[in-house]
């Protein structure tokens, strides 16, 4: 992406204090990358602290303390806000290193960012000798968090069942921070473009960190200049992706319908795990409330026990419903249990609301688990989606409908939905109903398109060519690239 409309020269030509820039260059760190690293930094915004103060670029409230109670006093500190166009999970990256310098001109301590937090680095691991002024710091493959040794990265990878640098490449879409959120609007289509671009660059680390990258004086600009430049850069990248990636190449979301219904009992924990094993990105399930107030996974109004007796979900207790074998030894799970499995399996959740009474509890659980950004709430009832948006406007929502004659755009706009979801699987050739005019109108309204559960290979191929955002299937393995 070398020909982006907003070139780097518009950033590097900004006026700056030569003495401050030289000082920042004198102590600028050297970064050590995996030799397979696809993305290297482009620019660095610096801030010099000659007294204790709040970071202008890190999380709000981050204090740069020149005289900490548990460390050496510093004469000054330099904050390096390091910009990449890409993290392997999302568009743009901003990581931080803080170098504290003593009155003798030597590096006194170094701190660095680590997945939204920060930590103190051991100088013995960073400096070749006591007079070295350029800390040498390892950058996590694809993710770019900083550590004193690569062992930190290997240990963190054990937390994920799927690789962040390959299986999960691009799932984060467009990263939003306070510096750009008012000037960059991440629509579903833009998220598709980012996901597509990064999925094409998926990789596995070599764990050979012999690629060294010194931060040079030419890369350094005052933080304020970098901050003001960032939104234009992000928008320029998104515009270029829209020009270069055709709809037929979009990396759509593969959604396991009711888990993986073709292989496991639907709306069960086994179904969720099976969907993950078969390559789903997201799992769809339905939620209702029991008589004793538990949010559970169930599609139909009743569960049928082994004797053929019907148990109404909303008029039965959790204990009564748990007594029913749903097949393969599976029992009805609670929403909280299902969400934990999604988190363990690194799956997104597409939550269809079957009972409006669950909305507040569902949103609370998503907040408690800090997983709302990986979920979509869907419903056939527009009023339920309006309630979702009233409680949590940032949640992604999807309006489901059956009739092809419905004005999908007006319906979605009436409840501020993120996606339209036509449920047209009953038609012989439902993809033909997604005419170019229909798709264009939906896209012009900045809406995404999620499609019915589909198991016919020819229909999946047709939907792939149209460039939809997501396809549901009882057999998620059918959605994998051929």
pLDDT tens-digit series, residues 309-361: 999 999 999 999 999 999 999 999 999 999 999 999 999 999 999 999 999 99
3-class DSSP state for residue 354? Answer: coil
Instruction: For the chain, give percent helix, strand, coil, nearest 5.
Output: 30, 25, 45
| Rounded Cα–Cα distance for residues 408 and 448 (Å) | 11
Whether residue 337 is contained in a domain is answered as yes
| Rounded Cα–Cα distance for residues 118 and 146 (Å) | 9
- As to burial, measured by CB atoms within 10 angstroms (0-12 exposed, 13-18 middle, 19+ buried), residue 148 is buried
- Asked if 341 and 216 sit in the same domain, the reply is no
> Please, which residues have CB within 8 angstroms of residue 54's CB and are 6 or more apart in sequence?
60, 61, 62, 63, 64
Q: What is the pLDDT of residue 129?
A: 62
Here the CATH number for the domain that contains residue 432 is 3.20.20.190
Q: Which of 299, 263, 272 is nearest to 378 (CA)?
A: 299
Mean pLDDT score across all residues of the chain? 95
Given a cut of 60, whether residue 5 has pLDDT beyond it is: no
- Asked if 296 and 207 sit in the same domain, the reply is no
Question: What are φ and ψ of residue 96, in 5° steps?
Answer: -130, 145
- Asked if 221 and 264 sit in the same domain, the reply is no
> Please, which residues have CB within 8 angstroms of residue 294's CB and are 6 or more apart in sequence?
318, 334
Q: Which residues, in sequence order, are bridge partners of residue 419? A: 398, 448
Question: Residue 438 belongs to what H/E stretch?
Answer: helix 436-444
Percent of the chain with pLDDT over 90: 92
Q: What is the pLDDT of residue 117?
A: 94
Whether residue 377 is contained in a domain is answered as yes
Q: What is the b/e burial string over 281-314, where b = at least 16 CB atoms within 10 angstroms of the residue's CB?
A: bbbbbbbbbbeeebbbbbbeeebeeeeeeebebb
Whether residue 3 is contained in a domain is answered as no
- Asked if 77 and 173 sit in the same domain, the reply is yes
Whether residue 151 is contained in a domain is answered as yes
Whether residue 219 is contained in a domain is answered as yes
Summarised one tens digit per residue, pLDDT across range 238-289 is: 999 999 999 999 999 999 999 999 999 999 999 999 999 999 999 999 999 9
Question: Residue 353 belongs to what H/E stretch?
Answer: strand 348-353
- Strands, E assignment, 59-181: 63-64, 76-87, 90-101, 107-114, 117-121, 136-139, 146-147, 173-174
Last residue of a domain, one of 248, 276, 294: 248
> Please, which residues have CB within 8 angstroms of residue 447's CB and are 6 or more apart in sequence?
187, 188, 408, 409, 412, 417, 418, 419, 420
Distances (CA, A) of 447 to 38, 160, 255, 416: 31, 31, 18, 10
Count of CB atoms situated within 10 Å of the CB of 192: 26
Banded model confidence at residue 79, pLDDT cuts 50, 70, 90? very high
Instruction: Report yes or no: 188 and 446 within 8 Å, Cβ to Cβ.
Output: yes
pTM of the prediction?
Answer: 0.95
Instruction: Report yes or no: 58 and 109 within 8 Å, Cβ to Cβ.
Output: no
Sign of the CA dihedral 140, 146, 149, 152?
negative
Whether residue 2 is contained in a domain is answered as no
- Asked if 274 and 388 sit in the same domain, the reply is yes
- Asked if 259 and 236 sit in the same domain, the reply is no
Whether residue 1 is contained in a domain is answered as no
| Rounded Cα–Cα distance for residues 112 and 143 (Å) | 14
Which residue shows structure tokens 């696809």? 38
| Rounded Cα–Cα distance for residues 266 and 263 (Å) | 9
| Rounded Cα–Cα distance for residues 108 and 133 (Å) | 10
Summarised one tens digit per residue, pLDDT across range 204-217 is: 999 999 999 999 99
Alpha helices (runs of H) in 299-391, residue ranges in sequence order = 318-322, 335-344, 359-369, 382-391
Chain-centroid distance, C-alpha 155:
21
- As to burial, measured by CB atoms within 10 angstroms (0-12 exposed, 13-18 middle, 19+ buried), residue 369 is middle
Last residue of a domain, one of 196, 221, 248: 248
- Asked if 62 and 181 sit in the same domain, the reply is yes
Q: What is the pLDDT of residue 2?
A: 47
Last residue of a domain, one of 188, 221, 248: 248
Sign of the CA dihedral 429, 435, 436, 439?
negative
Banded model confidence at residue 155, pLDDT cuts 50, 70, 90? very high
User: Considering its fold, how many domains does the chain have in total?
Assistant: 2
- Asked if 312 and 417 sit in the same domain, the reply is yes
- Asked if 228 and 274 sit in the same domain, the reply is no
Q: What is the pLDDT of residue 131?
A: 62
- Asked if 33 and 84 sit in the same domain, the reply is yes
- Asked if 146 and 279 sit in the same domain, the reply is no
Whether residue 185 is contained in a domain is answered as yes
- Asked if 244 and 257 sit in the same domain, the reply is no
Q: What is the pLDDT of residue 130?
A: 58
Which structural domain range is residue 218 located in?
A: 9-248
Banded model confidence at residue 128, pLDDT cuts 50, 70, 90? low
């Amino acid at each position: 992406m070398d020909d982006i409309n907003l070139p780097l020269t518009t950033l590097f030509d900004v006026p700056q204090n030569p003495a401050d820039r030289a000082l920042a260059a004198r102590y600028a760190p050297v970064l050590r990358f995996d030799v397979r690293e696809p993305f290297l930094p482009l620019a660095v915004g610096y801030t010099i602290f000659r007294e204790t103060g709040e970071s202008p670029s890190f999380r709000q409230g981050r204090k740069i303390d020149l005289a900490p109670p548990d460390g050496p006093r510093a004469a000054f500190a330099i904050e390096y806000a390091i910009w990449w166009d890409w993290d392997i999970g999302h568009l743009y990256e901003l990581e931080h290193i803080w170098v504290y310098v003593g009155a003798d001109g030597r590096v006194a301590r170094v701190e660095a960012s680590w997945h939204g937090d920060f930590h103190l680095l051991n100088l013995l691991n960073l400096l070749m000798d006591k007079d070295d002024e350029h800390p040498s710091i390892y950058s996590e493959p694809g993710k770019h968090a900083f550590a004193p040794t690569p062992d930190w990265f290997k240990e963190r990878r054990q937390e994920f069942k799927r690789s962040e640098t390959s299986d999960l490449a691009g799932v984060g879409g467009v990263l939003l921070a306070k510096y750009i959120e008012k000037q960059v609007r991440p629509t579903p289509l833009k998220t598709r473009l980012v996901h597509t671009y990064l999925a094409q660059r998926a990789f596995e680390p070599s764990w050979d960190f012999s690629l060294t990258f010194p931060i040079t004086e030419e890369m350094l600009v005052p933080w304020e200049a970098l901050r003001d430049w960032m939104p234009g850069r992000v928008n320029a990248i998104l515009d270029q992706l829209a020009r270069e990636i055709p709809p037929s190449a979009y990396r759509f979301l593969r959604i396991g319908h009711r888990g993986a219904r073709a292989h496991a009992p639907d709306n069960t924990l086994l179904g969720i795990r099976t969907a993950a094993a078969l390559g789903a990105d997201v799992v769809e399930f339905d939620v209702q409330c029991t008589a004793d107030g538990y949010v559970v996974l169930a599609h139909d109004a009743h569960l049928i026990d082994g004797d053929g007796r019907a148990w109404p979900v909303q008029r039965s207790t959790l204990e009564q419903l748990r007594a029913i074998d749903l097949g393969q030894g599976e029992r009805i799970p609670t929403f909280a249990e299902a969400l934990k499995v999604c988190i363990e399996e690194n799956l997104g959740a597409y939550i269809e609301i079957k009972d409006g009474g669950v909305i507040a509890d569902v949103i609370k659980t998503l907040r408690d688990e800090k997983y709302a950004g990986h979920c979509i709430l869907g419903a056939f009832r527009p009023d339920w989606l309006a309630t979702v948006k009233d409680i949590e406007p940032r949640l992604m929502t999807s309006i489901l409908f059956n009739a092809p004659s419905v004005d999908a755009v007006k319906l979605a706009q009436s409840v501020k939905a993120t996606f339209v979801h036509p449920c047209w699987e009953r038609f012989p050739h439902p993809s033909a109903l997604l005419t170019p005019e229909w798709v264009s109108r939906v896209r012009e309204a900045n809406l995404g398109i999620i499609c019915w559960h589909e198991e016919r290979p020819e229909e999946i191929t047709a939907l792939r060519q149209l460039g939809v955002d997501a396809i549901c299937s009882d057999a998620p393995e059918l959605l994998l690239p051929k």
